[in-house]
Amino acid sequence: MAKHDHHEGNVYEDSGIPQPYHLVSPSVLPLLGAAAGGLLALGMVLFMHKVAIFSIPVGIKGILLGFACVGAVMVYWWRDVIHEAYVEKFHGPITRIGFRYGMALFICSEVMFFVAFFWAYFSSAIFPAGGIWPPKGIQTFNPFDMPFIMTLILLLSGCTVTFAHHALQEGRQSTAVKALGVTVGLGLLFTACQAFEYSHAAFAFNQGIFPSTFFMATGFHGAHVIIGTIFLTVCWWRTAQGQFTKDSHFGFEAAAWYWHFVDVVWLFLFTSIYWWGAGPQPPFHG
């Protein structure tokens, strides 16, 4: 017989389950997610190698198809998770502890992901071919121009998402919605600034080790900013719908953790690649 433990905050009565754990229902979405990710990777490879199928160039169409499939899986998967948490109330205290460990481990794996890019950069910068870094002929960005503005944007977004979190913990839902909206706007602004910066780069991806490591590190960070912005947009919508309370809002916490991780990575990128690795710069006139 199910035991009711109100002190622990278990959800036996609401969910009808006889234990405090969440046994996930069978779903085809993980398989579809893997297939969509593989399709996206394949589209990128075909695009970069200019492959044609039946004499028709794949081009950007393969990448767009991959992104569309990944986006569709995200929408349906998030729909199911929100239904489990908000409608079925399956996410009890013990389940949320597992979520926290899972998110922490995921961020640790992301840290190691970026360690690989920093390793490649510093390996080339500290022991450069020809003894010069940046390599001869590479005109780098002034770190205190657009990169500094992007740094301020991300730092401000970290403040606004923290403000939204505190507002949610205090039950000030309308304030949390506004602060989250500002955070999403700052994330979009950062992406626009990075696109503007890339369009004015004086070097291309295939022009040597500096452009390759620069675009790989900053580009993958930019992809994480886009993912984090989508994550926060979903949280903004859920907050506006009243689905987060001051006692139960792990979805928002996970998004905030991810966003702070993105902030910290950018600080390392700014100091090491934009500033330290840029070589002599003209005086900053403001």
User: How confident is the model at residue 164, as a pLDDT?
Assistant: 95
Distance CA 68, CA 36 (A): 9
Q: How is the chain split among helix, strand and coil, in percent rounded to 5?
A: 70, 0, 30
Among 146-155, 235-244, 246-255, the range of highest mean pLDDT:
146-155
* Res 9 pLDDT > 60: no
Name the residue among 169, 153, 149, 125 with its Cα closest to residue 262. 153
Name the residue among 12, 71, 67 with its Cα closest to residue 40. 67
Tokens 């907050």 -> residue:
239
* Res 5 pLDDT > 60: no
pLDDT band at 58 (very low <50, low <70, confident <90, very high): confident
pTM attached to this predicted model = 0.85
pLDDT digits (tens, 9 = 90+) for 72-81: 999 999 999 8
Average pLDDT over residues 128-147: 89
Q: Domains in the chain, ordered, with CATH? A: 23-89 (1.10.287.70), 92-286 (1.20.120.80)
CA distances from 254 to 107, 183, 271 (A): 10, 15, 26
pLDDT digits (tens, 9 = 90+) for 155-208: 999 999 999 999 999 989 999 999 999 999 999 999 999 999 999 999 888 888
User: How confident is the model at residue 16, as a pLDDT?
Assistant: 55
User: How confident is the model at residue 17, as a pLDDT?
Assistant: 60
Cβ atoms 36, 64 nearer than 8 A: no
Q: Is the dihedral of CA 274, 276, 282, 284 positive or negative?
A: positive
Average pLDDT over residues 241-263: 91
Average pLDDT over residues 115-133: 90
